[in-house]
């Protein structure tokens, strides 16, 4: 989220009463924005990453690692530079949900030259160092998708206690102090989502049934447990009951600027089938609340952690107070394509208000975009500030953004902000963050290159949305990269639905086949990237860097290297203190995160995760001569 404006949050009752007001003005604001910006042309490729981090505090005497709740303090210092000299900074820092989290982006977006790939990792390293300079001894900035012991006993520094009977989360495990304290948005969202739902959120993730896990696995939450949690907690599952379990995870996101709205719609669609594939490939979060789970990714955890749907909306009761039965949480994969090419693959029924849809189409918005916006707007606002109630709908877009930015989906279609030089953009949101800058840079460069390949070769990766949904479920399973197959388009060079050989247009492939190719059947995404690169004039350093990144992706896909999730699991189960009970003790957690830290700081190598060639030629600045020589943008 962007720089958050200060203000006073309304109570849930007040917010609820203004839900229709926000919706009504949000739609008008979108219509005005669309009329103003639909014909905007000629923007160039710009792009940037977002990396989220956690602050971890080690105690080498007690052998513990805990989440350090000092992000607000550190962010204050990090933001000073930006306020003093916004045009000359190499990084931007933003708050995130956790009191232990930070989000860092490059100071400016990158442009469309290949040489920019050579600065991505150096910039990530710069950010890590910049924030790390502000830390206390034994405090470390880590890019972990999830902290293994979030919500387990004694997981924060300073120590905190959950408050099941009061506060924003009312969690048995996650204390309100672990929510970012510097802005009221986060606690307000937490409270309002819980109140809208009418009960606490309920997250049940299957536990990994190692041989000493009791059968059935059923936790005793103590004598004080209220009825709500005892009903919600499922056997053989790790039960979690707070927004912080999901929104307190970190991820890696990417935003691209398109040359116009049409190209943005194409990119939005074409990247959609890649979301589950990249989720599986970047899987990095097998542990929850101090237990080993049977999934490798955070996605369903976050989805459930902000599921504000009422029992009626979830289909547990007949509709009475609510208007719609809604099939997904507001955090989930997208439900419809936006480009004309995508239209025939929209095979999932879309829920929306017919009047809102009609209002959009009456104002000249085509069917596909109108149904996308109308579908986002089935949600109520879950955070409203008193200063923002009344707006100028001709200029402001806050009510639109209010709903848009709380539909947390795999892809986001981002209209240009008011009065800015920024164009139509698309955000790619599924990836889990990796422990090293090398890995994160590799993923980022791979996705950016894919967008170029898709646009220049006019590839068509589309498959029915229902199959993307199936792939999302498979992507999260343990060891999905090796063990699962994914629906993918067979012939990505044509729009033909029925192939010449009578074969269906999509079939099931392993991630290896999708990334590296399958002889005579599928070319593979990396070979396509490589043939694209071969047609470009690329300087030696950038070439070397990009090749190191592509090798990493290829080897993760083929199983030659472990995914982060697989490596983390292996470390825990081979720890001398591990008792085959799927429990991650303080000591196991400490040793694991210490090892992660040593890998990140290059004190030890980890070839099973990273391979042997992890040195890129990354550089903080692009030599002017090189940039000048590369005249043709990607």
Confirm or reject binding of residue 425 to ligand ADP (CB under 6 A).
yes
Q: How far is the CB of 239 from Mg ion (least distance, A)?
A: 26
Pair 105, 136: CB distance under 8 Å: no
Shortest Cβ distance from residue 256 to ligand ADP (Å)? Answer: 6
What region does 539 belong to: left with phi over 0, alpha with psi -120 to 50, or beta? beta
Find the shortest distance in angstroms from Cβ 332 to ligand ADP: 17
Distance CA 486, CA 481 (A): 10
Using CB under 5 A as the binding rule, whether residue 1 contacts Mg ion is answered as: yes
Are 490 and 506 contacting, i.e. CB atoms less than 8 angstroms apart? yes
| Rounded Cα distance, 520 and 171, in Å | 54
Name, in order, each residue with C-beta under 8 angstroms of 611's C-beta and a sequence gap of 6 or more. Answer: 551, 552, 555, 560, 561
Q: Report DSSP state, residue 118.
A: G
Buried b (16+ CB within 10 A) or exposed e, 157-195: beebebbbeebbbbbbbbbbbbbbbebbbbbbbbbbbbb
Distance of CA 130 to the CA centre of its chain: 23
Tell me which H or E stretch contains 156. Answer: strand 156-157
Residue 573 interacts, among ligand ADP, Mg ion, none and using kind-specific CB cut-offs from 5 to 8 Å, with none
Scanning 407-559, the segments in alpha helix (DSSP H) are 437-456, 465-475, 480-483, 511-516, 525-534, 540-558
**96 sits near ligand ADP (criterion: CB under 6 A):** no
The span of 354-362, 419-427, 457-465, 618-626 binding ligand ADP (CB under 6 A) equals 419-427
Which is nearer to Mg ion, 426 or 553 (by Cβ)?
426
Nearest distance, CB of residue 560 and ligand ADP, angstroms: 30
Min CB(416)–ligand ADP separation in Å: 8
Instruction: Kindly identify the residues of this chain, within the stretch 23-62, that bind Mg ion according to CB under 5 A.
Output: 50
Nearest-approach distance from CB 442 to ligand ADP, in angstroms: 17
CA dihedral 209, 213, 219, 222 (to 10 degrees): -160
**Cβ of residue 372: shortest distance to ligand ADP, in angstroms?**
18
* Stretch of 174-182, 250-258, 370-378, 595-603 contacting ligand ADP, by CB under 6 A: 250-258
Q: Contact 246/301 with Cβ under 8 angstroms?
A: yes
As given in the structure block, the two tokens for residue 327 are: 């099939």
257 vs 460, beta carbon nearer Mg ion: 257
**Residue 153: both structure tokens together:** 């006993």
19 near ligand ADP, rule: CB under 6 A: no
- Least Å distance, CB 52 to Mg ion, is 5
Query: Does residue 410 bind ligand ADP (CB under 6 A)?
Result: no
From 160, 192, 253, 409, residue interacting with Mg ion (rule: CB under 5 A): 253
User: Which is closer to ligand ADP, CB of 92 or CB of 463?
Assistant: 92
Residues 95-114 that bind Mg ion (CB under 5 A): 103
Should residue 504 be labelled a site residue for ligand ADP when binding is judged by CB under 6 A? no
- Pairing between strand 408-409 and 331-332? parallel
Query: Based on CB atoms, which residue is closest to Mg ion, 253 or 564?
Result: 253
Q: Are 178 and 98 in contact (CB under 8 A)?
A: yes
Report residue 390 as tokens: 């009344």
Site size for Mg ion, by CB under 5 A? 4
The residue among 204 and 409 lying less far from Mg ion, judged by its C-beta, is 409
Touching ligand ADP, residues 27-86 (CB under 6 A): 46-50
Q: Does 229 bind ligand ADP (CB under 6 A)?
A: no
CB closer to ligand ADP out of 124 and 295: 124
Which of Mg ion, ligand ADP, none does residue 332 bind to, with CB < 5 to 8 Å depending on kind? none
Is 116 near ligand ADP (CB under 6 A)? no
- Residue of this chain nearest to ligand ADP (CB atom): 48
Taken in order 461, 466, 467, 468, the sign of the CA dihedral is: positive
Does position 401 interact with Mg ion (CB under 5 A)? The reply is no
Q: Which of residues 433-472 bind Mg ion (CB under 5 A)?
A: none
Least CB distance from residue 131 to ligand ADP, whole Å?
16
What CA–CA distance (Å, rounded) separates 610 from 551?
Answer: 10
Nearer to ligand ADP, 376 or 528 (CB): 376
- Per CB under 6 A, 415 contacts ligand ADP: no
Of residues 210 and 396, the one with the C-beta less far from ligand ADP: 396
Contact 416, 37 (CB under 8 A): yes
Between CA 364 and CA 370 the distance in angstroms is 9
Nearer to Mg ion among residue 401 and residue 439 (C-beta): 401
Q: Is 388 helix (H, G, I), strand (E, B) or coil?
A: helix
- Return the half-sphere exposure (C-beta side, CA atoms, 13 A cut-off) of residue 501: 6
Using CB under 6 A as the binding rule, whether residue 257 contacts ligand ADP is answered as yes
- Interface ranges with ligand ADP (CB under 6 A): 1-2, 46-50, 94, 105-106, 109, 253, 255-257, 422, 425, 427
- Interface ranges with Mg ion (CB under 5 A): 1, 50, 103, 253
């Amino acid at each position: 989220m962007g720089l958050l404006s200060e203000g006073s949050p309304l109570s849930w009752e007040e917010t609820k009463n203004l839900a229709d007001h926000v919706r009504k003005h949000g739609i008008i604001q979108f219509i005005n924005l669309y009329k103003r910006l639909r014909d905007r042309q000629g923007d160039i490729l710009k792009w940037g990453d977002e990396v989220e981090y956690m602050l971890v505090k080690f105690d080498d005497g007690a052998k513990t690692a805990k989440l350090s709740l000092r992000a607000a303090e550190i962010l204050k210092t990090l933001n000073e530079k930006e306020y003093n000299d916004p045009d000359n900074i190499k990084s931007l820092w933003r708050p995130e949900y956790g009191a232990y989290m930070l989000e860092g982006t490059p100071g400016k977006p990158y442009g469309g030259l290949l040489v920019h790939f050579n600065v991505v990792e150096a910039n990530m390293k710069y950010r890590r160092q910049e924030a790390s300079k502000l830390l206390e001894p034994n405090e470390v900035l880590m890019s972990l998708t999830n902290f293994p012991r979030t919500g387990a006993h004694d997981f924060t520094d300073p120590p905190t206690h959950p408050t099941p009977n009061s506060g924003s989360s009312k969690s048995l495990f996650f204390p309100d102090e672990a929510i970012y304290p510097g802005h009221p948005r986060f606690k307000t969202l937490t409270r309002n989502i819980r109140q809208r739902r009418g009960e606490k959120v309920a997250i049940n993730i299957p536990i990994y049934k190692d041989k000493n896990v009791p059968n059935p696995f059923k936790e005793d939450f103590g004598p004080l447990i209220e009825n709500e949690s005892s009903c919600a907690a499922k056997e053989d599952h790790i039960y979690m009951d707070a927004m912080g379990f999901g929104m307190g995870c970190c991820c890696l996101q990417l935003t691209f600027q398109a040359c116009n709205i049409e190209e943005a719609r194409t990119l939005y669609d074409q990247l959609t089938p890649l979301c589950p594939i990249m989720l599986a490939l970047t899987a990095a979060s097998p542990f929850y609340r101090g237990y080993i789970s049977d999934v490798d990714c955070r996605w369903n955890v976050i989805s459930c952690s902000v599921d504000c749907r009422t029992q009626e909306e979830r289909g547990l009761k007949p509709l009475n107070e609510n208007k719609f039965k809604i099939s997904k949480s507001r955090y989930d994969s997208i439900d419809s394509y936006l480009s004309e090419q995508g239209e025939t693959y929209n095979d999932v029924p879309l829920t929306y208000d017919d009047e809102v849809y009609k209002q959009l189409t009456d104002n000249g918005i085509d069917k596909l975009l109108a149904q996308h916006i109308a579908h986002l707007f089935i949600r109520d606002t879950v955070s409203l500030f008193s200063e923002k109630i009344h707006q100028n709908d001709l200029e402001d877009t806050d009510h639109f953004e209010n709903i848009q930015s709380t539909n947390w989906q795999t892809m986001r279609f981002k209209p240009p902000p008011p009065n800015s030089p920024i164009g139509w953009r698309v955000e790619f949101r599924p990836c889990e963050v990796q422990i090293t800058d090398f890995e994160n840079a590799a993923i980022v460069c791979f996705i950016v290159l894919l967008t170029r390949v898709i646009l220049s070769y006019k590839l068509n990766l589309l498959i029915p949305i229902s199959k993307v949904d199936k792939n999302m479920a498979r992507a999260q399973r343990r060891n999905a990269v090796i063990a699962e197959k994914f629906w993918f388009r067979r012939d990505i060079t044509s729009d033909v639905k029925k192939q010449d050989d009578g074969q269906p247009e999509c079939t099931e492939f392993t991630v290896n086949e999708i990334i590296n190719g399958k002889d005579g059947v599928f070319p593979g995404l990396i070979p396509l990237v490589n043939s694209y690169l071969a047609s470009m004039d690329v300087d030696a350093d950038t070439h070397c860097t990009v090749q190191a990144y592509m090798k990493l992706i290829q080897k993760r896909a083929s199983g030659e290297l472990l995914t982060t999730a697989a490596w983390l699991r292996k470390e825990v189960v081979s720890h001398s203190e591990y008792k085959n009970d799927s429990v991650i003790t303080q000591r196991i957690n400490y040793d694991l995160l210490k090892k992660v830290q040593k890998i990140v700081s290059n004190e030890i190598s980890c070839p099973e995760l990273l391979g042997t060639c992890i040195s890129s030629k990354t550089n903080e600045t692009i030599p002017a001569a090189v940039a000048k020589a590369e005249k043709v943008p990607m």
